[in-house]
Homo-oligomer: A and B are copies of this chain.
Amino acid sequence: MDKKTKQKRVELFERQCRSQGVPFTVQRRAILETVLEFDNHPTAEQVHDAVTTRFPGISRTTVYRTLETLVQMGLITKACHPGSVVRYDRRIEVHHHLVCQRCEEVVDISDERLDALPVPDTSSLGFEVFDFRVQLRGICRRCRKKE
Q: Mark A residues whose CB is within 8 Å of B.
A: 78-86, 98-101, 107, 109, 111, 113-114, 117-120, 122, 125-141, 144
A49 CB → nearest B CB, Å:
18
| Cα of A12 to Cα of B105 in the assembled complex, Å | 28
8 Å CB contact of A80 from B81, B126, B128, B131: B81
- Known contacts A119-B136, A132-B135; is-contact A98 B125 (Cβ 8 Å): yes
A62 CB → nearest B CB, Å:
18
8 Å CB contact of A137 from B113, B131, B141: B131
Identical chains bound together, number: 2
8 Å CB contact of A83 from B86, B98, B133, B141: B86
Question: What are the nearest 9 A-B pairs in CB distance?
Answer: A126-B141, A80-B80, A129-B138, A78-B82, A111-B120, A129-B136, A130-B138, A133-B135, A84-B86
CB-CB under 8 A from A101, the residues of chain B are 130
- Known contacts A78-B82, A129-B136, A138-B128; is-contact A113 B120 (Cβ 8 Å): yes
| Structural contact, B118 and A113, CB atoms closer than 8 A | yes
8 Å CB contact of A132 from B126, B137, B140: B137
